[in-house]
């Protein structure tokens, strides 16, 4: 899958991911009204609104982008119906040729991690049959439990040719509370980065490993250090746009080959129609506003890369 991600990035010339984080207050009124007319103001109605909203955004942007990142929390809050909308979104994006990064942030003791890995990336056995339950291409994983929480994910990735993005330095304001703590003079995020590089060596694709890392766009100096600590790992960089990250901050997340990083924006793309810059599209044409926001994001990042 890392090869498909790289080839999609090269084809689109767009090292970006559209984050499908469909919060209810981003979904235009007309989409919600239609869904509620059909299913009422129910969990089913909410799930239908999410699905229709995602579908329009994917239809309007899929030729410009290599990958999407549905954030499972936004679906899970609507229970089983929300999870059905998550799965429908995963399948639809894959049918459009997009790489799907399931933002599920899992990680537990070994046996539990194995079940998470099976559910999201692998195949589950039911009697004599096997099923791919959620079937994303990549998953985000939390390394706090250590190697035995990560290894089951790696095993499934090796079997299924899938991949991981392991949290190394997150974009949020309090990420330093634990992640920046010094251990023998080194910050914890750097030790985790070294571990990701080691795990990555075991899981090499052609140029890059299929074990990647998450490093927030909001910490560009740390990104520069971590790029060197994990030279063969792809870095998923969230925090562009709504959290303040800009193209110029991100150049050091990339390797000299122009590869090695993929920048996520969720609200900045899917709720673009609410920004003044894209207001001319109106809520009716929210998908076209998202398309314009994708074009601007790609231009911003590529320009920064050309000028470095």
Chain residues binding ligand OMP by CB under 6 A are 19, 21, 71, 103, 140, 170-172, 214, 216, 238-239, 241-243, 264-268
Phi/psi at 190 (nearest 5 deg)? -70, -40
Q: In the complex with ligand OMP, which residue's Cβ is closer, 81 or 103?
A: 103
Q: In the complex with ligand OMP, which residue's Cβ is closer, 49 or 271?
A: 271
- What is the rounded distance in angstroms from the CA atom of residue 265 to the CA atom of residue 125? 36
The one catalytic residue in 96, 105, 123, 161 is 105
Residue reference for tokens 């398309």: 291
Q: How far is the CB of 170 from ligand OMP (least distance, A)?
A: 3
Nearest to 277 by CA among 246, 232, 241: 241
Q: How far is the CB of 162 from ligand OMP (least distance, A)?
A: 16
**Residues in contact with 243: Cβ distance below 8 Å, sequence separation at least 6, in sequence order:** 171, 216, 217, 218
Q: In the complex with ligand OMP, which residue's Cβ is closer, 209 or 265?
A: 265
Q: How far is the CB of 243 from ligand OMP (least distance, A)?
A: 5
**274: annotated active-site residue:** no
Around 114, how many Cα atoms within 13 Å sit in the side-chain half-sphere? 6
Q: In the complex with ligand OMP, which residue's Cβ is closer, 159 or 295?
A: 295
Q: How far is the CB of 96 from ligand OMP (least distance, A)?
A: 20
- What is the rounded distance in angstroms from the CA atom of residue 91 to the CA atom of residue 208? 26
The 10 Å CB-count burial string (b at 16+, else e) for 41-66 is: eebbbbbbbbbbbbbbbbebbbebbb
Instruction: Enumerate the active-site residues.
Output: 105
């Amino acid at each position: 899958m890392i090869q498909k991600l790289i080839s999609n990035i090269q084809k689109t010339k767009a090292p970006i991911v559209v984050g499908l984080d469909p919060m209810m207050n981003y979904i235009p009124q007309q989409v919600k009204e239609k869904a509620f007319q059909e299913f009422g103001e129910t969990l089913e109605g909410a799930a239908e609104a999410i699905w229709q909203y995602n579908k329009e955004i994917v239809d309007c942007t899929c030729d410009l982008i290599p990958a999407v990142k549905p954030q499972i929390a936004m679906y899970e809050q609507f229970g089983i119906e929300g999870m059905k909308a998550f799965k429908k979104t995963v399948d639809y994006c894959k049918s459009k040729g997009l790489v799907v990064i399931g933002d599920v942030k899992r990680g537990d003791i070994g046996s539990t991690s194995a079940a998470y890995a099976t559910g999201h990336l692998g195949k589950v056995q039911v009697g004599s049959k096997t099923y791919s339950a959620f079937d994303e291409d990549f998953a985000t994983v939390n390394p706090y439990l250590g190697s035995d929480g990560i290894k089951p994910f790696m095993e499934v990735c090796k079997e299924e040719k899938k991949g991981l993005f392991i949290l190394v330095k997150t974009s949020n304001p309090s990420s330093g509370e634990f992640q920046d703590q010094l251990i023998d003079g080194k910050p914890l995020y750097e030790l985790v980065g070294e571990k990701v590089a080691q795990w990555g060596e075991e899981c090499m694709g052609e140029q890059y490993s299929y074990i990647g890392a998450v490093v927030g766009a909001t910490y560009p100096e740390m990104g520069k250090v971590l790029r060197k600590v994990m030279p063969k790992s792809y870095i998923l960089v969230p925090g562009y746009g709504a959290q303040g990250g800009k193209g110029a901050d991100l150049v050091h997340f990339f390797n000299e080959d122009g590869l090695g990083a993929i920048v996520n924006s969720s609200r900045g793309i899917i709720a673009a129609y609410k920004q003044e810059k894209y207001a001319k599209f109106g809520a009716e044409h929210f998908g076209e506003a998202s398309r314009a926001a994708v074009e601007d994001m790609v231009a911003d990042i590529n320009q920064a890369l050309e000028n470095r």
